[in-house]
Amino acid sequence: MALFKKRSKKFWIFKAWISKAWIFKVCDRAGKQLFDWKFGDHLSQTFKRLFERLKKWKILFYCKDHWAGFNKIIPSNRLFQEKDKTFSIEQNNARQCHWFARFRRKLLKNTRSLEMLEGTLLIFAALRVNKTLKINHAIFG
């Protein structure tokens, strides 16, 4: 964050640089379970680390949007790049933005820590998507 020159007696020019964290998610199309995710920049190395973790599940095919980085990593015979195949992950993204303000692009609601993002997404996956965590409390009822 940086505070710059004074513009007038009442206003300051304020600029903040926030590094953007991209989220690569792995979601089951049929059951809509959220299996894994990886935070990082929008480069091939970030997705490659996630792709290496996915090898233990022996996934038959991948449905992704049209990003050139996927073509470099996923074999072409197992990659489907069509928008109509990615509806479940788009639903997941919409629910995530609905439940947590820090995933929206507003300056005051962003979090500056990847650990907080990781924890938030873990709670979101356990409570709302996979429903593996049950909390017996009136707030969550």
Does 138 map to a domain?
no
- Local confidence band at 125 (pLDDT 50, 70, 90 cut-offs): confident
pTM exceeds 0.75, yes or no = no
Average pLDDT over residues 45-52: 86
Domain encompassing residue 83? 19-129
Nearest to 69 by CA among 32, 33, 24: 24
**109 vs 26, residue with greater confidence:** 26
Length of the chain: 141
Average pLDDT, integer, range 110-131: 75
pLDDT tens digits, residue range 82-116?
777 777 777 777 777 767 766 665 544 556 677 87
14 located within any domain: no
- Do the domain assignments include residue 8? no
Overall domain count for the chain: 1
